[in-house]
Each structure stands twice: as C-alpha cells, then as structure tokens.
Structure 1
Amino acid sequence: MHIYVLGSGVVGVTTAYYLAKKGCEVTVIDRQDGSALETSFANAGQISPGYASPWAAPGVPLKAIKWMFQKHSPLIMKLTSDITQYKWIAQLIANCNEQSYSINKERMVRMSEYSRYCIQQLRQDTGITYEDRQKGTIQLFRKQQQLDGISKDIDVLKEMGTPYEVLDREGILRYEPGLKDKINEFVGALRLPNDETGDCFLFTQKLTQMAKDIGVNFRFNKNIEKLELQNNQIKGVWIDGELEIADAYVVSLGSYSTAMLKSVGINVPIYPLKGFSLTIPITDESKAPQSTVLDESYKVALTRFDNRIRMGGMAGVNGFDLSLKQRYRDTLHEVFNHVFPGAGNLDEATFWTGLRPATPDGTPIVGKTPYPNLWINSGHGTLGWTMSCGSAKYISDLITHQTPEISTEGFDLERYQKS
C-alpha cells in the first residue's frame, strides 16, 4: 500500500515512520525544505501526558475576560473577519462545562498516556536521543485557590493510573533548587514524575533520518494545492500543478488541515492557536530548571535542555498571524524573571512563534473520514509532541486494518457529528 502523508511536522513524521514499520510504502510531502520547520520547530519541549487538559474548562470564559485586561496576559484575542474564528470560539465555550471537560480530558489523557508508552518503546528500540530528560514536570501555583482546584484533575489521574505528587515549598525545592530565590511566591505544586522533556525539532529531524533509512521518501519544497475527489474517494492530490496518485492519504498539516479538507467537503474545527517561545542560553546552572516547570498563573512552561532553557506559552486567537511583536517578548521576559531570574541571558535569547492546531474540545482528530482512503491525524493543539507517537501508531493500526491498542472512542470526526 502506497500512502501519502501530507505534512512533515512531528505528527506527520511519526505517522510516516510507524506506517513504514508496518510495511507500507510511504511518501511525505511538505512545503518547507526540511521537517519540523513550522509548529514543531521551537515548542515548549514537553512530553506531558499528565497535563493533558482541554482549554475548554469550567470558568474559562470568565478567566479569559479577566486575562484580556492584564498587562502580561496569557491570552491574546484579536477578532478577524473569518467566520471560522467565531464558530471555533462558540464551540469552545460550549465545551466549558463539567461534563464536557471530564469527557474531553479523559480522551486526551488516554491518547497521551498511550503516546508516552510508544515514545519510551521507540527510545528503547532505536536509541534516539534529543536532549531528553525523564525527570517529570512541576506545575506551580501562586494562589491557594489554584492548588485547591486540582482535585478534579487528580481524579482523572487516579482513574488513568498516572502517578502524581502534591508538593509544598520544601517539596518543590527538592526537585527544582533553582527556584529558591522565588519560592515564597508559590503556595504549592503538582508534580507528575513520569513526564519527559527534550527538543522536539531535534527529535523530529533524527526520526526523519530513521524513516528514510527504512524507505520513507521525503519530498520537500512541494506545494500541496488540494485533494481531488472522484466516485466518493480521493483520486489524488494536486502538487505543484500535477495530480499525484496513491492508495491512501493522511492529512497532518496542522492548522492548515482545515483548508485542505474543506476542498473535499470535510469541515473540521481546527483553528490556529498562536504560541510563542524563547530559547535562552544558560548562564548559571544553579539557577536553572532541572526539567519542566509550569507557572499556572502565567500559563508558561520553562524547560531545561542541555545548555539552554526553552520557554513557551501564551495563546493568540488571531488567525494565521505569525508576527513577532516586542510586547509579547516583554511578557516572556517578565515571567522568566519571576521564576528563574539570573539563570540565562535574555539578551541572547531567540524569539519564535508557531501556530498550534487546536480543536475546541482539546482532543485531536485522529482516524477515518467519509472517504475510505482519506485519514486525518491533526488538531493536537499544545500537545502535538506529547501525543505524536501514540496517535501515529494508533492511525497506522487503523490504516493497516489492525486493532488499536487503546479504545477508539471519541478520536475521529464522529464526535462532532454526534454533537
């Protein structure tokens, strides 16, 4: 079976790899001149199944209004003339209730925990390295109300068998001594010891080479124009003015999946959620993080690489805008100095932005479409790397007519049809 995978971010590359491991002939198409050069390039560096939670949660609409009036807000809202933006926001708000939150979080954790197992197996089988650390993640709370509000998340963690620790200040410093100068700003934390960190770009580049070694054909600098529909199945894909034909097609184009699928009458609520990052050279090891630290108040993650700190956060709901404005960099600088002051040189930091492909309920769209030879693996939001190996192995099972190792409930387009 010859399969075209459209997109070479971390989700597309892992999909290609797992399909090739099952004996498929795989071709990956991308407009960039290499893999992982868009949203996967400089993300926050987390593999965090335990923190897999939908943005759509009870109380979020009110919080969003408050955030918009903060100087250093985690949310950037700019209304556009695109009707899909309003529809996506409306769907997100509709999911901001206890019942929907519980359903959506369970689905996200299910895929994320499976993906954790898959990446561990991948590391064992291949020896792949990517400045990776297996030291867990710590979510910091500045207010007692935040700490008290984690009970529902803990219930899901218990249900999924995910280990966790609730930490006081002394417990926080046991794992992250670099926080000693700012520890009195925090009331406690939630630690997930099984979470991991690393450089997603490095991971994807190395896996690309491994995929090439087992026969995957990567074709870069190619413009994917549209899918061609004939007799209720996909006849081919138009690439640089030519119709190319395969047996099956997987759309893994991130935020650009929506437009590609719309060309054949499939509407998916995947919207670009803009995020920012700083990559900061470490200047003082004693003040730097050991793994990933999440500041719940600012919605920012700080992750340790070998000699760098990757800081990622904020969410912009403003379409396909990739501009880098100084005030957003100033926000990241401000947060950095509230958590790990003196750990790195902000003057030499690299500022970056990417578009996270987000669904309104938080769960990615992974699975079949109304057309038997067209599949979707997209919409992972802020958890693209976290869910990548799991969703890739899962969809490779579906495509090759094998039974997936986890429940299929809630992952494909049917959940929107039912709603």
Structure 2
Amino acid sequence: MSWRTPCAAGHNMRRIAVIGSGITGVTTARALLARGFEVTVFDRHRYAAMETSFANGGQLSASNAEVWNSWSTLLKGIKWMTQRDAPLLVNPTPSWHKLSWMSEFVSQIPNYRSNTIDTVKLAITARELLIQHAEAYGFDFNREDRGILHVYEDPKEFAHATEVTKLYLEGGLERHAVSPEEIAQLEPALATKSSAFVGGFFTPSDFTGDIHRYTVGLATGIEEQGVNFELGTAVERLSHHAGGVDVVLARGEGESGAPQSETFDGVVVCAGVRSRDFAAQLGDRPGYSITVNMKDEASQRAAPWVSLLDDKAKIVTSDRFRIAGTAEFNGYNYDIRQES
C-alpha cells in the first residue's frame, strides 16, 4: 500500500481516492471514512475483491507472523530455486527491482526478532478489528473458531518453532506445543499420519474465514455510510501536484477530448500487483490458492476440521478445503500452474 498527499503547507485534505477494492483498499476506505474524509474507491472490476482478495488460504493467523527476514530463509530460498514444488519460487533472471528488493530484504535480517514481535502484535490487533467490523456492519464471512494447528516432521523445524513461540508470547500471543498423539486428537483426519510428525503447535485464538465475503460485506456497509465506489472504472495513471492528485480514468474522454480525470487531495494505492507502478508515478515505492468443493459426504468426512499449516512446505488449509501455498517472484502473470 502506498499513500500520497500534496505538500502544500496548510492544505486541508478532505477528498481521498483509494485505488483498489480488495481487503486492503476497503478496510482503508472504512478507516478514512471514520476519520471524516470523503472517500472514493476505484477498481477496474465490476465487483469488489475480484483479484488478490478473491481467494486465499482463509486463515486469520497471528500464529503465522514470523517474518521471513533470516539467514535460514535465504539459504532455503537458494535451495528452493531448484525445486518446482518449492514454497518460494524466484526467477533467477536479474532485474533492478528484484535485486534492490532482495538487498532490502537482507538489510532487515538484523531486525528479525523485533520485527517478528511487532508483526504478531499487529496481527492480533487485525484479528480483533476484523471481528469488530463484521459485528458492526452485520455481515457473515464464514468465520470458524477452530484454532490453527502447525505440524512438523523435521526435529530442527520443530525446535525453531519452539523459539518462535517465545517471541510470539512476548508479542501477546499464546500457542502451545502438542504431541503427535494430540495432533491426531485435534485433527482426526491426520490420525493415520500422526506418527510422521515430531510435534506441532496449536493456537486456539486463531480462526478462519472467507476474505472475499468479508471484503464484499464491508464494502456494502461503508457504501451505505457514504463511501463512493467507482467499480468497473480502470485507473490509467496518477499524477500529483501542489493542488492535489489527478486520477486519470479509462472511461472515455471528457468534453475537451482529453481522458477523464478527477482531482483528489490525496490518494492511497491498494492495487495489488499494480501498486508498484502506480506508486512510481507518484514518486513513491510501495501465491496461489485453490478451493475444492467437496459435495459428497465421504470427502467432507475426510477433510481436515482444524485449519492446518505445514511450516516446512508453507501450505495452509482452511474451512472449505481451501489450500494456499507458494510465493513467486516472476513478473506479472495471472496464470495458475496446473501441476500439483
């Protein structure tokens, strides 16, 4: 997310444009509305939450707040570059953006401990805010309070998770270790495989939900309160000047023959993969999932009841057997890989 405001001294900023109607854009619009701003949300799709926020792992997991900035992740990343089923895929073709990003990633390794603690605090606050929003606006997002279970087959990974749990506790999150036998009790679907696990960690306060239902429900609620949604309206470019920010729209030409545009006092960019391009126009810088519909009773019985997370493979499952995994640094591509 990128935020840009004009620099004119004493400017009384009131009208704000939000680019993108996914989870970040809609929650940002709600926060701005609550602070008294006049907010317009732009999105090229006809409905809210149709790209990044359409489907993901479905976990509201403060227990997954450990940051990736560590030497162990860097070493794993190099190893994973040779595996097609790796949880992190990096196209080795160099680019300035990729190299500069990796440089910044490495520079944050000394802050691993403090960043992890801060992130878990933020995650706990975010979980509470999600619940408050759903209750305040009266919508359902398939929330299931079953906790989240992390499982480990590697003793080293389990030992690392034990140390991470101590950081989580400093941040205010409690999760407890479970034995292979307790894993089978918590999740009967894993009973036949429980002997392969060295242990796990269970976080009762975590839960699952549908990000698309949540975003659409919140968007409907704040639209009724006065947020203006310009859906089906693509943003071509942004430009800022002393008087504000011009949002140039791809919806035809105005009376002068020039592309239509609107001027706002400020803009917040929440445009998913396009955020970097939009932010660059303002002089700023800012995975995969599948859902399996199990209609027969046998499949429903075989599916996990507790939301699971395999830390080694970075794969999560949640309520309707939604599975998410793989972070990929490979340019812009909307295709979904077909291999398992």
* TM-score bucket (shorter structure): 0.7 to 0.9
SS at match of 2:264: coil
Residue 285 of structure 1: CA displacement? 2.9
Identify the match of residue 247 of structure 1 among 265, 269, 272: 265
Q: Does residue 13 of the first structure (1) align with residue 23 of the second (2)?
A: no
Specify the alignment match of 2:9 in structure 1: none
For 1:165 and 1:263, the matched residues in 2 are separated by: 47
For 1:81 and 1:63, the matched residues in 2 are separated by: 19
Q: Name structure 1 gaps, 5 residues minimum.
A: 269-274, 331-419
Q: Does residue 173 of the first structure (1) align with residue 173 of the second (2)?
A: no
Larger radius of gyration: 2
Kindly indicate whether the alpha-carbon contact (under 8 Å) linking 1:85 and 1:319 is maintained by their aligned counterparts in 2: no
For 2:35 and 2:83, the matched residues in 1 are separated by: 50
Specify the alignment match of 2:174 in structure 1: 163
What percent identity do the matched residue pairs reach? 30
Specify the alignment match of 1:297 in structure 2: 312
Specify the alignment match of 2:254 in structure 1: none
For 1:122 and 1:264, the matched residues in 2 are separated by: 31
For 1:296 and 1:81, the matched residues in 2 are separated by: 28
Kindly indicate whether the alpha-carbon contact (under 8 Å) linking 2:151 and 2:199 is maintained by their aligned counterparts in 1: yes
User: 1:285-305 CA deviation, whole Å, 9 max, x = no partner?
Assistant: 33211231011221100111x
Specify the alignment match of 2:121 in structure 1: 110
Q: Does residue 277 of the first structure (1) align with residue 289 of the second (2)?
A: yes
User: 1:55-103 CA deviation, whole Å, 9 max, x = no partner?
Assistant: 22231121122223335322222134642012112222333x3x32112
Residue 195 of structure 1: CA displacement? 0.9
For 2:304 and 2:138, the matched residues in 1 are separated by: 25
Specify the alignment match of 2:216 in structure 1: 205
Specify the alignment match of 2:45 in structure 1: 32
Kindly indicate whether the alpha-carbon contact (under 8 Å) linking 1:197 and 1:291 is maintained by their aligned counterparts in 2: no
Q: Using structure 2 for the length normalisation, give the TM-score.
A: 0.87
SS at match of 1:218: strand
Kindly indicate whether the alpha-carbon contact (under 8 Å) linking 2:244 and 2:264 is maintained by their aligned counterparts in 1: no
Specify the alignment match of 1:219 in structure 2: 230
Q: Using structure 1 for the length normalisation, give the TM-score.
A: 0.71
Kindly indicate whether the alpha-carbon contact (under 8 Å) linking 2:117 and 2:168 is maintained by their aligned counterparts in 1: no
For 1:290 and 1:128, the matched residues in 2 are separated by: 23
Q: Does residue 326 of the first structure (1) align with residue 335 of the second (2)?
A: no
SS at match of 1:87: helix
Q: Does residue 140 of the first structure (1) align with residue 155 of the second (2)?
A: no
Residue 10 of structure 1: CA displacement? 0.6
Mean alpha-carbon deviation: is it higher for 188-197 or for 218-227? 218-227
What is the one-letter code of the residue matched to 2:113?
S
Residue 314 of structure 1: CA displacement? 0.9
Specify the alignment match of 1:235 in structure 2: 245
Q: Does residue 121 of the first structure (1) align with residue 132 of the second (2)?
A: yes
For 1:73 and 1:264, the matched residues in 2 are separated by: 35
Specify the alignment match of 1:261 in structure 2: 279
For 2:282 and 2:16, the matched residues in 1 are separated by: 18
Identify the match of residue 186 of structure 1 among 171, 194, 197: 197
What is the one-letter code of the residue matched to 1:84?
H
Structural mapping, 1:339-378, within 5 Å: none
For 2:318 and 2:131, the matched residues in 1 are separated by: 19
Kindly indicate whether the alpha-carbon contact (under 8 Å) linking 1:50 and 1:192 is maintained by their aligned counterparts in 2: yes
User: 1:308-340 CA deviation, whole Å, 9 max, x = no partner?
Assistant: 21000011111112222322xx2xxxxxxxxxx
Q: Name structure 2 gaps, 5 residues minimum.
A: 1-13, 251-258
Specify the alignment match of 2:329 in structure 1: 317
Q: How many residues align?
A: 316
SS at match of 1:149: helix
For 1:208 and 1:311, the matched residues in 2 are separated by: 25
SS at match of 2:282: coil
For 2:238 and 2:205, the matched residues in 1 are separated by: 40
Cα 1:114–1:267 change in 2 (3 A) is same
For 2:94 and 2:86, the matched residues in 1 are separated by: 23
SS at match of 1:298: coil
Kindly indicate whether the alpha-carbon contact (under 8 Å) linking 1:142 and 1:296 is maintained by their aligned counterparts in 2: no
Identify the match of residue 74 of structure 1 among 80, 87, 94: 87
What is the one-letter code of the residue matched to 1:9?
G
Asked which structure has the greater RCO (Cα within 8 Å, sep 6+), the reply is 2
SS at match of 1:278: strand
For 2:163 and 2:111, the matched residues in 1 are separated by: 13
